[in-house]
Structure 1
């Protein structure tokens, strides 16, 4: 269908929703939504780290061996595998906002229940179910935020959203430190209260206008755009009939067909290998540090500094992705992260460990910020939820498997050098696969 120019890059008549975001100003509404979703991502990191940090206390109470602790660490991620697939459908069917709200509330209830576990089996299954509950937040947060942002700031702002990971990491360390004398039940119970954040998301984050248009709710979508722009796009609203790119709604089969097949295979490889390269190291970091002679307080201090090292990585990648694009920043950061990983593996002194860990943390988390942004931009609105959920499922599969594999290597007395080098090899695979993806910097969402 032919269309006529309307000015400022828009068209008269049929208009892609994404075109409205091409010239949208950044307003206080974006900041409110951004802060609400930022802390939602903080909660994800907090929840994933808390059992790792409390594992010594849990292991002592239930007399667990290394294999059982590794399985417990992986239980939440095993729950996220079916959880992400289910929530991926729900996010596309019922909306980004409802999925986020219900997911946070469900996580809070189940996680709190896990603090009252009477045995290892009950704790394992309640952590598994808390993973199922939290999966809606995992699947929705980044695509949701990107669907609310002007094109010109989408990359930078979403990378800053990703910096919620070290914040959650630090909060988990802080809660563990404050309540460790009271035991793991207090640590997990206090952490579960974060589920109340669903009230903030419900109050301050509007539904995605992309999703609303895809569901035929154009009037509501226009109201959201007016709200986000604080009334500065009323003229565009009056003259636009909004559409999104057509695709079979919420279909997992769709992302394995035609033009999406190659893309889907690549993003699964990247998600699995990148997550393995990060989580396999993080999940056993306290034990690996103990092999280097660090006490538990020293290990917590080292991990806290590791989290602080992540912030400049996010800041650098946020600036650079807007300047050079997703692909160049992602690939170069992953490559340097791999180098940092091999350097950390061969470190012999404490100074060398800190230096190489800074390199690893700086570049790996900076790359994660770009990847969380890039992955959500690769598919159209109708299948963005299921495509993102499949990618996150790949991450969680790696998260679930890695602790057991690395635990087995440590049980076999594999050296620090061999263990960390094995983990870093997955970053090399991530680098190669990333080279084969298309650039999306500056493009509207479809």
Structure 2
């Protein structure tokens, strides 16, 4: 098919717009590698993810200081943690739907501004109730950003490297974890209320948000299906011009559906995808946040000092960036569903070692390996998630799965606190091992094949 076909579409007919949108998507999909513009966008998206993950993890690292200053119990810390998840539940669904209606870039920018301001205000919280309300707002913005970042990479980067690009963005973004962990190690022990400065760091997200507003283009696929063909065409032509030599031919064009209802996510043919994606993320969140969110507090409960617990978790925090980069070697080489199944089996075994070892060295080594491979699996699942939904429902479908996973995180906060009280350190991490293994089994046995398939072939089929 001729690359200029979409340039001839000027009439108002819906069929013409559908053909043009499909052809622009096919031209974008056939790019053999990333361009200069892609690399610039990746840096910006990675920085946005850094800020996102710093704020996501700030409460976990601030928790020992908050607990000491306000005299809170482990159960009360669990309640405070749960408020963030309530906000994330709403932010995932509402943010995803708004990105389908208003555009990927607009939601990405304003959701980042929202959680940055809420994080700054959290540093002034006078009590647990005020901090809880602000963490709801912060969680809303954070999850809206996370969902749109995944969708944006899926829609804007070449099909041959979608998985690697998702993993790279997550790897860059994961630097936010050691950054906030290192800051906590230095700041929290200084004074009873020094934990407040960790939330001040969350406000830096405003800077990349402003940069994204003026330098990040709207998603080609979203712009095309919403009638902004000239804008989408200009972006595709700019990317094509940055690659020397002849480009591969445009493959057969898959139609991009422009009129779908939210209820179509549960219609025959789409229902299984929605359920598998949601269940996979729910179980994964129960495992990931059950481990990462509770390690600092439960290490203190096991007898380590706050400083020792923060030192151990600072070591662990180096693992996620390495894990995401490791996923770059796997995500586009093997089926994502199979890769996730293998990774989660290994992670579950390592969690059991961490739960019951009496050796300090083995505890640190196994915990480090768990945090690293959890991020590898997250990168693989995040690449899989937006691929299985059609363009006009990709934000909502991804947001729905992400939102319900965060709602599970809300309940998990209470569950982990109860299990910790009843069964202790070993019981908690045996439970997280079971959750993470079930996550891999769900996508591994029932998920879609996505490797080597065009985005429209997967999502619009």
TM-score by length of 1: 0.91
Out of 99, 120, 128, the position equivalent to 2:128 is 120
Q: Does 1:228 align with 2:239?
A: yes
How much has 1:23 moved relative to structure 2?
2.9
Alignment of 1:292-441 (within 5 A): 292-412=302-422, 414-435=423-444, 436-441=446-451
| Cα separation, 1, equivalents of 2:96 and 2:332 | 28
Out of 21, 42, 49, the position equivalent to 2:28 is 21
- 2:217 alignment counterpart: 206
| Cα separation, 2, equivalents of 1:178 and 1:319 | 34
| Cα separation, 2, equivalents of 1:122 and 1:69 | 14
Q: Does 1:58 align with 2:66?
A: yes
- 2:276 alignment counterpart: 266
Residues 224 and 232, structure 2, Cα contact 8 Å, conserved in 1: yes
How much has 1:234 moved relative to structure 2?
13
297-306 or 204-213, which deviates more: 297-306
Out of 276, 280, 297, the position equivalent to 1:287 is 297
How much has 1:138 moved relative to structure 2?
1.8
SS in 2 for 1:321: coil
Q: Does 1:150 align with 2:145?
A: no
How much has 1:197 moved relative to structure 2?
2.0
The 3 A distance-change label for structure 1 pair 241 and 283 is: closer
| Cα separation, 2, equivalents of 1:76 and 1:51 | 9
How much has 1:393 moved relative to structure 2?
0.7
Residues 30 and 149, structure 1, Cα contact 8 Å, conserved in 2: yes
How much is the aligned-residue C-alpha RMSD, in angstroms? 2.6
How much has 1:87 moved relative to structure 2?
1.1
- 2:15 alignment counterpart: none
Residues 247 and 383, structure 1, Cα contact 8 Å, conserved in 2: no
Task: Name stretches of at least 5 consecutive residues in structure 1 with no aligned partner.
Answer: none
- 2:49 alignment counterpart: 41
Residues 35 and 243, structure 2, Cα contact 8 Å, conserved in 1: no
99-108 or 402-411, which deviates more: 402-411
106-115 or 16-25, which deviates more: 16-25
| Cα separation, 2, equivalents of 1:31 and 1:285 | 35
Residues 123 and 197, structure 2, Cα contact 8 Å, conserved in 1: yes
How much has 1:252 moved relative to structure 2?
2.9
**Aligned residues between the structures:** 436
- 1:87 alignment counterpart: 95
Q: Does 1:443 align with 2:453?
A: yes
- 1:96 alignment counterpart: 104
Task: Name stretches of at least 5 consecutive residues in structure 2 with no aligned partner.
Answer: 10-18, 457-461
| Cα separation, 1, equivalents of 2:317 and 2:283 | 21
| Cα separation, 1, equivalents of 2:186 and 2:237 | 45
Residues 350 and 367, structure 2, Cα contact 8 Å, conserved in 1: yes
SS in 1 for 2:257: coil
